[in-house]
Amino acid sequence: MTGASDATSPPIIDAEAHHKLMEQLSTIGGGPGGALTRLALSEEDRLARDWLAGWMKAAGLRLEVDAIGNMFGFLDWAGSDAPRIMTGSHIDSQPNGGRFDGSYGVVAACSAIEAIQRKVRETGITPKANFILANWTNEEGARFQPSVLGSGVHSGEHALEFALSRKDADGITVGEALNRIGYAGSAESVIPDALIELHIEGASFLENAGKRFAAVDRFWGATKYRVAFIGRQAHTGPTPMAERRDAVLAAAYLISDIKAIADKGGLDMHTSVGRLEVYPNSPNVVPGEAVLFIELRSPEPDLLASAEEELKAAMQEAARRASVEVEVRSIDRRKAGRFDADLFKLAEETAAALGEETMRLDSIAGHDTVAMASVTKGLVINVPSLGGVMHHPSEFTSPDDRAFGVQILAGMLWRFCLEGSGLIRRRS
């Protein structure tokens, strides 16, 4: 522990302890080949939350749970006037997803907080910031839509009643699911002064550039439509083709057109249809209903708006061609924007002190910190993911890269311990 008493040097994280924590959490909902299925508010989520609550208690953090199930671990050691710096992510996963998306950010927050606690003990300094460890509810949007639901409620974007009444495919509401797993709390909303989220990249820009650290400058906007085509069930045999009202055919036309919107939009336009529900989905029944979960994403608000117009026209055209009706069931829009420049600079400085350049990236995926960016200074920082894979069992970030990310996060938090609100009041 040479130099451990030097307050100006960043705390050294315990990489082995971090690795073990990550492995512990990975067993909850884990499957073969690196698979993880820990759907929001499922039994697996409950077990993982209990595990996290146990860690917080052992670390001396005060756990509070709010009405949408967000978990906050408070480290109030700097007095009520000191800024509150939040870090964390989410521990829910996609079905058959990977181990690191979200979970890494939560475990990294644990390890970074543990490192600054140790450094405070060793140096005897008086910290100038309080900290909050966050685990947000239903980031993934796999079981319940929309995604980033817990942070969306916290930022005031979604009304609590709206969020609690969202239903999964079995008709279970978020509110019911929260009660079942015992995570419907009553904590009041606390808006932090800064929010830092460490996340695996989920694309291969870092890997391709041979770099190991990035901070996010722009975050993309997203427009999500849930669209239903309503046809008419009929026998796939005798029903004359001209009389069919085939909901899946309309879906096929639209999926093809949605891909064409991306082709036209170039690198600044991503589109997808990730979920498609077909009713009754029997081999010899012409489908009577098809529901599409459509996403359009772009960093350019104008491009996103024109893509939405194209989508609306394509929906009508697909319905016309297949002689079905079309209904928009829900629309969810997330604005494009930029993260906080002070936090970006802090990340750059912290990485530079560790001899690493900071790559400037866009965040295309939604993150809780994007949802919170309208109410607080936020920043997402990234370490590489192998092959750019995310939302798949083979999702992987090497232990070294993971430890390096935690080291940077701990360094950033330490700067807040030393400098307090001065770090982020420059622009406000």
Residues 72-101 that bind a second copy (CB under 8 A): 94-97
Among 128-136, 155-163, 186-194, 291-299, which window interacts with a second copy (CB under 8 A)?
A: 291-299
Instruction: Specify the residue, 40 or 63, whose C-beta has the smaller distance to a second copy.
Output: 40
Nearest distance in Å: CB 290, a second copy: 8
Of 44-52, 70-78, 239-247, 410-418: span binding a second copy (CB under 8 A): 239-247
Closest separation in Å from C-beta 383 to a second copy: 14
Contact pick of 5, 24, 126, 281 for a second copy (by CB under 8 A)? 281
- The window from 61-69, 128-136, 187-195, 293-301 that contacts a second copy (CB under 8 A) reads 293-301
The answer to whether 87 and 415 have CB atoms below 8 angstroms apart is no
- Which lies closer to a second copy via its Cβ, residue 70 or residue 94? 94
State the minimum distance, in angstroms, from the CB of residue 273 to a second copy. 6
Site membership for a second copy, residue 271 (CB under 8 A)? yes
Q: Which position has the token pair 């543990």?
A: 114
Asked if residue 5 binds a second copy (CB under 8 A), the reply is no
Binding mask 116-155 for a second copy (x = CB under 8 A): ------------------------xxx--x-x--------
253 touching a second copy, by CB under 8 A? yes
**Which residue's CB is nearer to a second copy, number 190 or number 278?**
278
Q: Which of 57, 121, 235, 425 binds a second copy (CB under 8 A)?
A: 235
241 lies in the binding site for a second copy (CB under 8 A)? yes
Q: Does 284 bind a second copy (CB under 8 A)?
A: yes
Taking the complex as a whole, the smallest distance from the CB of residue 202 to a second copy amounts, in Å, to 5
Segment interacting with a second copy, rule: CB under 8 A, options 4-12, 65-73, 108-116, 281-289? 281-289
The nearest distance, CB 137 to a second copy, in angstroms, is: 16
Examine residue 238 and tell whether it contacts a second copy (CB under 8 A). yes
Q: Which of 60, 156, 280, 422 binds a second copy (CB under 8 A)?
A: 280
Query: Contact, 105 vs 88, CB < 8 A?
Result: yes
One character per residue 203-232, x = contact with a second copy (rule: CB under 8 A)? xx---------------x-x-x-------x
Min dist CB 23 to a second copy, Å, is 23
- Say whether residue 243 binds a second copy (CB under 8 A): yes
**Using H for helix, E for strand and C for coil, what is the string for the chain?**
CCCCCCCCCCCCCCHHHHHHHHHHHHCCCECHHHCECCCCCCHHHHHHHHHHHHHHHHHCCEEEEECCCCEEEEECCCCCCCCEEEEEECCCCCCCECCCCCHHHHHHHHHHHHHHHHHHHHHCCCCCCEEEEEECCCCCCCCCCCCCHHHHHHCCCCCHHHHHCCECCCCCEHHHHHHHHCCCCCECCCCCCEEEEEEECCCCHHHHHCCCCEEEEEECEEEEEEEEEECECEECCCCCHHHCECHHHHHHHHHHHHHHHHHHHHHHCEEEEEEEEEECCCCCEECCEEEEEEEEEECCHHHHHHHHHHHHHHHHHHHHHHCCEEEEEEEEEECCEECCHHHHHHHHHHHHHCCCCCEEEEECCCCHHHHHCCCCEEEEEEECCHHHCCCCCCCCCCHHHHHHHHHHHHHHHHHHHHHHHHHCCCCC
Please tell me whether residue 285 binds a second copy under the rule CB under 8 A: yes
* Residue 361 near residue 201 (C-beta atoms within 8 A): yes
Q: How far is CA 350 from the centre of its chain?
A: 24
Residues that contact a second copy, how many (by CB under 8 A): 73
Closer by beta carbon to a second copy, 96 or else 179: 96
Residues in 339-398 at the binding interface with a second copy, rule: CB under 8 A: 363-366, 388-392
> Which residue matches tokens 């002070």?
342
Amino acid at the residue 267: L
